[in-house]
Chains A and B, each alone.
Chain A
Amino acid sequence: MKAAHEGPLTFAEVQPNDGLKAALARKRPDVIAEITRSGLRGRGGAGFPTGVKWNLAGAASGEEKYIVCNADEGEPGTFKDRVILSQYPDLVFEGMTIAGYVVGAKRGIVYLRAEYTYLLPQLESVLAQRREHGLLGHNILDKGFDFDIEIRLGAGAYVCGEETALIESLEGHRGEPRNRPPFPVDTGFVRRPTVVNNVETLAWAACILARGAEWFRGFGTEKSTGLKLFSVSGDCERPGVYEFPMGISIGELLEEVGARDAKAVQIGGASGHCVPRCEFHRTIAFEDVATGGSVIVFGPQRDMLKIARNFLEFFTEESCGQCTPCRDGNPKLLEGVRLLEEGRCSMRYLRDLIALGETMRVASKCGLGQSSPNAFLSIVKHFPQEIMGRTPQAV
């Protein structure tokens, strides 16, 4: 366990640019093989194997390809990318450069969350230094490889963290997810093959190249290897950014952050799942409870309906408004929570809403809509006593 507020993270132990040097000294397929062997999976939450993604983009036809760093960290309760970008930006740029080398891209774009605009001058100066040191631009490290990175700012829409909406936004369109397939590795930014990776994924990729796949596999579980940063907030004694191996149990994690009396934990932000105390033995891993790193702790005094309402208010506002289930479904779930709060929701209507939530999970166009009912559904499932039977309020 490492905590960002107590000292350096594992990222600090990696020699700067060791990963890049190691990568450029090897053939592209070998680099991909190394990443694949490490078992690294997308740290944004979806957990797509990074090696597979790079391989697909590398194999896609076309001269022009792009590497996009998804720094639109907008999931409520997630702030680990901010720590990486402010303390270890070189590692992220290094990871992008490696990805560029591997898939044959010459341009990288960082899509930076609007709220992180204050990081821009620092990030730009890091880029300038890297150019000066021959780590970006023409003929990187004299290996005949050209790659450069620019930073673009988001404008505050949560949905732009979804990779195809992000690409739309980069192209100057309204930030709305595209139809998939095809996926960005085939048809991404300006219709060219594009790798979109989370900030943390790129940083770990650089570390893996520097220290080897075996080192990374030494942490975590068989299906969820390596280390992971967690943004811990809510009713705990020591909130902050933590580094844990994947596969840690929720109970262990809560122990570390000082949240022994938690009644529930929201794993994976607003779009994640609400795990009740009786399931704290479960592990944080792609095969069990997946997360992009957000852990929100709810103490015994918390009203679970208020929590559900808070998340649903968020989705009702942040849905891109494109597809029916998400645009119109979230307000209906929100309305249902209000009815529950007022003690005016019938069992029959609650069942309708649960069924609606299931429809939203399978019929929405993108991950936002598909995951937006998760919190509601898990709260309704795990806390029926608490949410039902409220005293009807005078209307």
Chain B
Amino acid sequence: MGNHVTANQVQSRAPRSQQRQAPPVSPAPDAIGGTVSVEIDGKSIKVPFGTTILEAARQAGVRIPTLCYHEDLCVAGVCRVCVVEVEGMRTLQASCAYPITQPIKINTHTRKVRQARRHIIDLLLANHYGECYACGRNNNCELQALAKEYGVDFFRFGHPEKPRFEIDRSSHSVVRDMNKCVLCRRCIRTCIDFQEVGVLEAIGRGDQTRVTTFLEKPLAEVICINCGQCINRCPTGALRANDPTDEVWAAIDDPTKHVIMQTAPSPRAAIAECFGLPAGTPLTFEMNTALRRCGFDKVFDTNFTADLTIIEEGTELLLRLYKALVLGDKTVALPQFTSCSPGWVKFIEHFYPEYLDHLSSAKSPQQMFGALIKTYYAELNNIDPKDIVSVALMPCSAKKFECNRPEMCDSGYKDIDYGLTTRELAKMISEAGIDLPAMPKSDFDDPFGTATGSGVIFGATGGVMESALRCVIEIVTGKKVEEFYDHADIIPVRGFEGIRYVEIPLPEKLGPVIDLLKPLVPNWDWLAGATLKVAVAHGTANARKIMEDIKAGGHFSECHFIEFMACPGGCLGGGGQPIPTSPEIRAARAKAIYAEDSAYQVRKSHENPVIQRIYGEFLTEGPGGHKAHKLLHTHYTPRGKYIS
């Protein structure tokens, strides 16, 4: 059990000029036991052979400023902010890119170094158009912070008075303002190497160098999957999400509108970061109060439709298995892929359009909720759906694109009107003068109020799989999942390995078919003693590895169900989450999410009483039935990656 594929420098798709090259394999003769001694600002430490100067300095507690360096990305060594003096060398060395292979003496703040850093910051500012107070990254900008740190009090080499580039607002998700770009190329490395999408690249030489798309097309016309990982790693305001807060405020201010907010699990585990609290501080119920004070009429929990997604998607999986294994239907596509990550959906639409029939037709929780609010909820409360403005708080920039897909209007209206990111909501809350951490706690609104822990863990990689497994195991065995896994925690599918493969053996004796599914399957005999093979991947670079394996007929093609999340860490690492991001920050958010899950009484989607009620009174033909199909399922567009 467990097949771990880890990110590897050697497999990087980024241009090699943009990578720290692996140091020569053999330690120098004077390096003992694979370690090298270095002296940094007079402090002597021993570091493993090949450690970079930057890593060594951090170990020694010496701060070296950086800009193009990012913990998640391969090393570029292009901004030169982190240069240091190595004794005996004529030139300064970029500490992020210099591997220590022999004993050296390093000075991190000599006159030469300070002058070079100051010049570099001055030069970056000379090409950085815009004023800090009119920028979304004000007070959270790495360039601004550097300018402060180095005491920049005038523009030594000038400051641009006019913009050079038109702002690209074509995408529903990502806005590109290249006037603020400092050419650190983190976005390029994020896109091509970290996510393996490859939308962005540098073109032009010298002072004409710029980051752009294929044929300099608008972002909406290229193979961008809208994951927004580039936004999270942009040090300045050059990349940002398409911000609809003005429209949301306008709806709130309009007394004829009934404005509904649904909140996804991940923003709750992260929004505290926008208010100066450490990552992993959950503010779920404080946020409910804040949302009401902002003026939202109802606050719902997206976890409710996460539970619904599990039912629909789980049923779809059982049906696919039944058709393939029992009825011998060769047209059934297996493994089934999850479809709740809109970045992943657009990724597969572009890169593997021939596999679209593997995607579950179930909509994402956001879109299911949208369809239900303007139908079920509107009927229930006698509100004209045209007066409902449905807003979704998501950790995600791709959700903005998703809610604008033309097929997402099954309620007869635009199912979701606006997608807000965690960052944008934090801004709204601040604007309303609300101190979020100090808010009293309040619950979600009925009728969807109650959710299960299964919905919460959708936010972490492996969460959808775990929820689905909890549900599927109970449905087919007729027993509590706790009999198989302590506390219903299916630990093997958790974690941060890029790809996880898990086999779930089913017992010989299975239970009766529950009422909800009786019209679809006669019994579970055909699953007795079978082994469910599932896999989890997060980050599209890992998704690509699985897809290539499936294409080659590898062992992932024998899986039954695979969870794909476009973003590293799952939704909690989404492109709409607070900036900055790092592996540690994502791990802290995950901890908060799993803590919330274990706090729930009902932790399995099919046990959610509101779910049982909605199938009882609204989706009366059950999961996968006609009405469910119309409102809760969708289709996909084979886009391909060739752009003319």
Q: Is the CB of A325 within 8 A of B119?
A: yes
* A-B interface pairs (CB < 8 A), number: 151
The CA of A181 and the CA of B94, in the complex, are separated in Å by: 11
Out of B19, B94, B207, name the residue touching A365 (CB < 8 Å): B94
Which of B74-82, B313-321, B452-460, B493-501 is near enough to bind chain A?
B74-82
The size bracket of the interface on B is 35 or more
Tell me if B308 counts as interface (CB < 8 A to partner A): no
Contact residues, B83-98 vs A (CB, 8 A)? 83, 90-92, 94, 97-98
Q: Is the CB of B17 within 8 A of A178?
A: yes
Tell me if A163 counts as interface (CB < 8 A to partner B): no
The CA of A331 and the CA of B205, in the complex, are separated in Å by: 12
Among A168, A176, A319, A328, residue most surrounded by chain B Cβ atoms (within 10 Å): A328
**Closest chain A residue, CB of each to CB of B117:** A363
Q: Is the CB of A363 within 8 A of B25?
A: no
The CA of A320 and the CA of B206, in the complex, are separated in Å by: 5
Q: Is the CB of A359 within 8 A of B115?
A: yes
Given the known A-B contacts A173-B15, A322-B17, are A363 and B183 also in contact in the complex, defined by CB atoms under 8 Å? no
Contact with B along A149-176 (1 / 0, CB 8 A): 0000000010100001100100101101
Interface residue SS majority, chain A: helix
The CA of A373 and the CA of B119, in the complex, are separated in Å by: 14
Specify which chain A residues have a CB less than 8 angstroms from the CB of B81 in the assembled complex: 324
Which of A92-100, A102-110, A240-248, A310-318 is near enough to bind chain B?
A310-318
Q: How far is the CB of A116 from chain B (nearest CB, A)?
A: 20
Q: Is the CB of B206 within 8 A of A330?
A: yes
Tell me if B630 counts as interface (CB < 8 A to partner A): no
**Closest chain A residue, CB of each to CB of B122:** A356
Count how many chain A residues have C-beta atoms less than 8 Å from C-beta atoms of the other chain.
Answer: 48
Q: Is the CB of B205 within 8 A of A321?
A: yes
Contact residues, A308-366 vs B (CB, 8 A)? 315-325, 327-332, 352, 355-356, 358-359, 361-365
Q: Is the CB of A176 within 8 A of B207?
A: no
Tell me if A10 counts as interface (CB < 8 A to partner B): no
Q: Is the CB of A179 within 8 A of B94?
A: yes
Tell me if B20 counts as interface (CB < 8 A to partner A): yes
Specify which chain A residues have a CB less than 8 angstroms from the CB of B127 in the assembled complex: 328
Given the known A-B contacts A168-B17, A187-B22, A332-B126, are A325 and B116 also in contact in the complex, defined by CB atoms under 8 Å? yes
Given the known A-B contacts A187-B21, A324-B120, A325-B119, are A315 and B206 also in contact in the complex, defined by CB atoms under 8 Å? yes
Contact residues, B177-199 vs A (CB, 8 A)? 182-183
Out of B75, B83, B90, B123, name the residue touching A328 (CB < 8 Å): B123
**Closest chain A residue, CB of each to CB of B81:** A324
Q: How far is the CB of A270 from chain B (nearest CB, A)?
A: 13
Tell me if B381 counts as interface (CB < 8 A to partner A): no
Q: Is the CB of B101 within 8 A of A328?
A: no
Out of A60, A176, A180, A186, name the residue touching B15 (CB < 8 Å): A176
The CA of A322 and the CA of B210, in the complex, are separated in Å by: 10
Q: Can you pick out 26 interface pairs between chain A and chain B where the beta carbons lie within 8 Å of each other?
A: A165-B17, A174-B17, A174-B201, A177-B17, A179-B75, A179-B97, A186-B24, A187-B24, A191-B16, A319-B205, A321-B208, A321-B209, A322-B202, A322-B209, A323-B78, A324-B183, A325-B80, A325-B120, A328-B123, A328-B124, A328-B207, A330-B206, A362-B83, A363-B119, A365-B77, A365-B94
By a beta-carbon cutoff of 8 Å, the part of chain A in contact with chain B is 60-61, 157, 159, 164-165, 168, 171, 173-174, 176-182, 186-187, 191, 315-325, 327-332, 352, 355-356, 358-359, 361-365, 370
The 3 closest A-B pairs by CB, nearest first: A321-B209, A328-B123, A176-B17
